[in-house]
């Protein structure tokens, strides 16, 4: 029960006890019910935070932390500045998860200990930290230590890095892991400026999602984030990290042995930034750098402002996987500038970003590549919709009650969201749609938005001027109905039509795979070819392809993954050693969750469990938890 409901219930009991209820008063028992349901209907209130951000809001964080590799711990002091939205507010409620709170003080100029309480550890949400605020206090100062098992943090031994000599650590705070790194109001609805002083062993470098310290590697670094951002965008990494510039304002951080290859692979990043700024207004964050992480990084990329965190599996040697860079860069507008108010509106973040990503790809690499990427995404979305047993999870505007905010990040948010914008683009034309999207970012910059806000903006700016182009019923079908609307645009790729024809004719004949001319195929064409093979293809036919093209050992992680999934489903055993090798080397969720699931579905649970037992210590805690869920083993 929430606070309002509790208060109303108390009032109801009081009224009943006093026998004061009069005929024209509202029935308090009904009031209790409607208030409880109203809480979940309030689509602006994030249910995945304990924070009392309606009455007190954190506006700035000053963090000081020692990075203790031996203890896998941040030994830290967080000073939070807050603002009383409700002048009478007498406590500040923060999110924490697994933090060892050492002391809590309040003050402004001078600090003094205050009383506080730390609630029980709730699943996913962590523990509520309620701090009593004396009148006049404007800051709290909390000394704490993170847990070696903090969900946000991965601590890598030297052997798990590419240089093998020095340890490495990094954070991944989205969606609700910031609270395991620092006591904060961990909701996308609250933004704060922040600064940090980070101490590491003297030969390691710390980097953050902020104005970075470009001084010498001396173990003492200061950072400043002058734009207010939600806590999920706070990010830290420390290790043997080198830097190579790509332009005056764009560069790559990576372990020394990786930095040259990364700089070559991502050399189009400055161009991408120019294109996005041209379409959607100035880039507002100063520098844009990339940090290449060790292969255990659980995502393709993470849009930490000013410093996107990237998986090294994008370094394919041919720029075929740079869509992820376009994607994380695009978040500088959608997500980081205009943020979803709750995770149930994740599509506003990921769907808009996926659309912008594709516009960048089209401008840099041409419309054929953009169309191929659209077609690959749409095929993946269709597969996901057909497998989703809960239709309400195929709506763009998701129910407020989710098991975990991470459940909001499916192809629905990404691809259905992207295709909704493409639908609007087609109906209104780019002449109207591009300025519309730019205005959405400008009007809502540094704010949190809901699906209803987007709908209202759309009606006001596009529908009103051109009511014929799309009906409100069509728009609402996109936003609130499950599945894929009939109005879904169909990507057209002549290159893919050819691939489909080649594949189908090879499948129908007994022709030797080596006769297929693949010399000019791009990675996207290979993916189309492999994904379109039937799951029940005979292992011997997969063997023919493997003999001709050595797909089992592809250097392109996307191709290797697509092939290995097919191999598992078709029971092509020669690929299994490569699957095991991949799963022990790479921790990227997009690859490893489906591979473990495919092994399990194929009745190879024992193999999956054996590989996981060997690989798990190398995974980020997020990936450890997810794989344990898939295989139903103890985490």
Find the binder of ligand BES among 196, 315, 324, 370 (CB under 6 A): 324
CB of 369 vs ligand BES, minimal distance in Å: 14
Rule CB under 5 A: which of 193-212 touch Zn ion?
A: none
Helical (H) or strand (E) element with 74: strand 73-84
Distance of closest approach, residue 354 Cβ to ligand BES, in angstroms: 7
Q: Bridge-partner residues for 447, per DSSP?
A: 338
Q: In what order do the strands lie in the sheet with 288-292?
A: 242-245, 250-254, 288-292, 307-310, 301-302
Q: Which is nearer to Zn ion, 289 or 604 (CB)?
A: 289
The C-alpha angle with vertex 605 and arms to 602 and 607, in degrees rounded to 5, equals 105
Q: How many CB atoms lie within 10 A of CB 158?
A: 14
Q: How many CB atoms lie within 10 A of CB 375?
A: 20
- Give min distance, CB of 340 to ligand BES, in A: 11
Instruction: Compute the least distance from the CB of residue 357 to Zn ion, in Å.
Output: 8
Cβ contact 126:180 at 8 Å: yes
299 binds ligand BES (CB under 6 A): yes
Minimum distance, C-beta of residue 199 to Zn ion, in the bound complex (Å):
31
Q: Locate the DSSP E strands across 158-266.
A: 168-171, 192-199, 205-208, 220-229, 236-239, 242-245, 250-254
Name which of 172 and 451 has its Cβ closer to ligand BES.
Answer: 172
Task: Tell me the backbone φ, ψ of residue 576, rounded to 5 degrees.
Answer: -60, -40
152 or 631: whose CB is closer to Zn ion? 152
Q: How far is the CB of 288 from Zn ion (least distance, A)?
A: 15
Q: Note whether 332 binds ligand BES by CB under 6 A.
A: no
Q: How far is the CB of 402 from Zn ion (least distance, A)?
A: 18
- Beta-sheet pairing, 168-171 with 153-156: antiparallel
| Three-state secondary-structure class, residue 107 | strand
Tokens linked to 170 = 């990094």
Dihedral over Cα of 227, 229, 233, 236: its sign: positive
Restricting to residues 332-351, name those near Zn ion by CB under 5 A: 350
Site for ligand BES in 99-138 (CB under 6 A): none
Residues 382-411 that bind ligand BES (CB under 6 A): 406, 409
Residues 237, 309: Cα–Cα separation, whole Å:
9
Cα 545 to Cα 164, 511, 559, 602, distances in angstroms? 36, 11, 13, 21
Of the pair 167, 351, the CB lying nearest ligand BES is at 351
Selection from Zn ion, ligand BES, none that 324 binds (CB < 5 to 8 A by kind) is: ligand BES
Among 327, 416, 528, 626, binds ligand BES (CB under 6 A): 327
* Closest by CA position to 381, among listed 350, 423, 412: 412
**Contact flag: residue 587 with ligand BES (CB under 6 A):** no
Q: Which range binds ligand BES by CB under 6 A, 61-69, 132-140, 323-331, 533-541? A: 323-331
Judged by CB under 6 A, which of 590, 597, 602, 625 binds ligand BES?
Answer: 590
Nearer to ligand BES, 271 or 380 (CB): 380
Nearer Cβ to ligand BES (258/408): 408
328 binds ligand BES (CB under 6 A): yes
How distant, in Å, are the alpha carbons of 2, 60, 231, 404 from that of 183? Answer: 22, 12, 10, 20
Q: Which of residues 350-369 bind Zn ion (CB under 5 A)?
A: 350, 353
370 sits in which H/E element: helix 367-387
- Give least dist CB 352 to Zn ion, A: 10
How far lies 132's CA from each of 4, 139, 424, 550, in Å? 20, 12, 49, 64
Which of Zn ion, ligand BES, none does residue 564 bind to, with CB < 5 to 8 Å depending on kind? none
Residues sharing a CB contact under 8 Å with residue 398, sequence separation 6 or more, in sequence order? 344, 345, 346, 347, 392, 408, 412
Q: Which does 301 bind (CB under 5 to 8 A by kind): Zn ion, ligand BES, none?
A: ligand BES
Q: Do residues 239 and 168 make contact, with C-beta atoms less than 8 angstroms apart?
A: yes
Residue number, 541 or 590, with CB nearest to ligand BES = 590
Check binding of 358 to ligand BES (CB under 6 A).
no
Instruction: Write down the catalytic residue from 253, 365, 414, 596.
Output: 414
How many Cβ atoms from other residues are within 10 Å of residue 475's Cβ? 21
Closer to Zn ion by Cβ: residue 353 or 554: 353
Q: List Cα–Cα distances, 163 to 156, 158, 166, 204, 294, in angstroms.
A: 12, 7, 7, 13, 10
Largest CA distance in the chain: 90
Which of 174, 340, 410, 450 binds ligand BES (CB under 6 A)? It is: 174
Residues that bind ligand BES (rule: CB under 6 A) add up to a total of 17
Residue nearest ligand BES, Cβ-based: 300
The phi-psi region of residue 91 (left if phi > 0; otherwise alpha if psi is between -120 and 50; otherwise beta) is beta
For residue 361, give every residue at least 6 positions away whose Cβ sits within 8 Å of its Cβ, in sequence order, or none: 322, 323, 326, 369, 370, 373
Least CB distance to Zn ion at residue 321 (A): 15
- Catalytic residue status for 414: yes
Query: Tell me, what DSSP letter sits at residue 412?
Result: I
Residue closer to ligand BES, measured from CB, 182 or 325? 325
Distance CA 131, CA 93 (A): 6
Q: State which residue, 195 or 354, has the beta carbon closest to ligand BES.
A: 354
- Cβ nearer to ligand BES, comparing 45 with 626: 626
Active site residue 170: no
Which position among 255, 273, 303, 328 bears the catalytic label?
328
Decide: is 350 part of the binding site for ligand BES (CB under 6 A). Answer: yes
Residue of 178, 302, 499, 557 interacting with ligand BES (CB under 6 A): 302
Question: Quick check: 175 binds ligand BES (CB under 6 A)?
Answer: yes
The torsion of the CA quartet 391, 397, 401, 406, rounded to 10 degrees, works out to 90
Q: Could you tell me which stretch among 10-18, 61-69, 301-309, 446-454 binds ligand BES (CB under 6 A)?
A: 301-309
Residue 590 near which of Zn ion, ligand BES, none (CB within 5-8 Å, type-dependent): ligand BES
Q: Which range, of 207-215, 322-330, 432-440, 626-634, touches ligand BES by CB under 6 A?
A: 322-330
Among 139, 145, 331, 416, binds ligand BES (CB under 6 A): 331
Residue 561 interacts with ligand BES (CB under 6 A): yes or no: no
Shortest distance (Å) from residue 406 CB to ligand BES: 6
CB of 332 to Zn ion, least distance (A): 11
d(CA 119, CA 15): 31
* Contact yes or no for 42/149 (Cβ under 8 A): no
Catalytic residues: 328, 414
Footprint on this chain of Zn ion (rule: CB under 5 A): 350, 353
Site residues (CB under 6 A) for ligand BES?
A: 174-175, 299-303, 323-324, 327-328, 331, 350, 406, 409, 414, 590
């Amino acid at each position: 029960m929430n606070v309002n409901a509790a208060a109303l219930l108390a009032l109801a009991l009081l009224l009943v006890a006093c026998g004061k209820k009069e005929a024209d008063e509202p029935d308090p028992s009904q009031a209790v019910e409607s208030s409880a349901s109203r809480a979940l209907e309030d689509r602006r209130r994030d249910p995945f935070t304990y924070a009392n951000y309606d009455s007190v809001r954190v506006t700035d964080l000053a963090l000081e932390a020692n990075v203790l590799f031996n203890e896998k711990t941040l030994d830290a002091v967080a000073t939070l500045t807050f603002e009383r939205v409700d002048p009478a507010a007498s406590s500040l409620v923060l999110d924490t998860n697994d933090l060892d709170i050492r002391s809590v003080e309040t003050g402004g100029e001078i600090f003094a200990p205050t009383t506080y309480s730390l609630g029980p550890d709730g699943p996913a949400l962590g523990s509520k930290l309620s701090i009593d605020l004396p009148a006049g206090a404007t800051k709290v100062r909390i000394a704490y230590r993170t847990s070696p098992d903090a969900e946000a943090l991965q601590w890598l031994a030297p052997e798990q890095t590419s240089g093998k000599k020095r340890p490495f650590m990094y954070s991944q705070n989205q969606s609700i892991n910031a609270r395991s790194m620092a006591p904060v109001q961990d909701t996308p609805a609250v933004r704060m400026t922040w600064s940090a002083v980070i101490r590491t062993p003297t030969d390691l470098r710390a980097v953050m999602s902020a104005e970075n310290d470009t001084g010498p590697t001396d173990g003492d670094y200061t950072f400043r984030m002058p734009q207010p951002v939600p806590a999920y965008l706070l990010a830290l990494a420390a290790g043997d990290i080198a830097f190579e510039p790509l332009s005056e304002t764009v560069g790559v951080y990576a372990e020394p042995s990786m930095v040259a290859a990364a700089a070559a692979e991502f050399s189009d990043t400055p161009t991408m930034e120019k294109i996005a700024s041209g379409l959607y207004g100035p880039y507002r964050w100063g520098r844009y750098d990339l940090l290449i992480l060790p292969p255990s990084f659980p995502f393709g990329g993470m849009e930490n402002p000013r410093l996107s965190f990237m998986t090294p599996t994008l370094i394919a040697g041919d720029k075929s996987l740079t869509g992820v860079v376009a994607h994380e860069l695009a978040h500088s507008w959608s997500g980081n500038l205009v943020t979803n108010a709750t995770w149930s509106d994740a599509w506003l973040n990921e769907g808009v970003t996926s659309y912008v990503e594709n516009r960048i790809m089209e401008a840099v690499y041409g419309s054929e590549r953009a169309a191929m990427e659209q077609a690959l995404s749409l095929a993946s979305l269709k597969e996901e919709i057909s497998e989703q047993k809960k239709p309400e999870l195929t709506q763009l505007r998701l129910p407020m009650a989710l098991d975990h905010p991470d459940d909001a990040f499916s192809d629905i948010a990404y691809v259905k969201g992207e295709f909704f914008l493409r639908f609007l683009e087609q109906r209104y034309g780019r002449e109207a749609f591009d300025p519309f999207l730019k205005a959405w970012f400008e009007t809502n910059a540094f704010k949190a938005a809901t699906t209803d806000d987007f709908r209202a903006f759309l009606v006001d700016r596009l529908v009103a001027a051109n009511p014929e182009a799309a009906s409100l019923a069509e728009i609402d079908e996109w936003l609130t109905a499950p599945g894929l609307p009939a109005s879904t645009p169909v990507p057209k790729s002549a290159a893919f039509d050819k691939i489909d024809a080649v594949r189908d004719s090879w499948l129908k004949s007994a022709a030797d795979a080596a006769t297929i001319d693949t010399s000019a195929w791009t990675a996207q064409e290979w993916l189309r070819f492999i994904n379109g093979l039937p799951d029940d293809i005979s292992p011997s036919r997969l063997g023919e392809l493997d003999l001709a093209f050595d797909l089992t050992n592809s250097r392109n992680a996307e191709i290797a993954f697509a092939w290995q999934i097919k191999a598992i489903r078709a029971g092509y055993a020669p690929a299994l050693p490569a699957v095991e090798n991949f799963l022990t080397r790479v921790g990227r969720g997009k690859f490893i969750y489906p591979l473990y699931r495919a092994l399990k579905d194929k009745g190879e649970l024992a193999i999956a469990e054996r590989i996981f037992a060997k690989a798990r210590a190398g995974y980020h805690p997020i990936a450890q938890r997810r794989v344990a869920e898939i295989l139903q083993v103890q985490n």
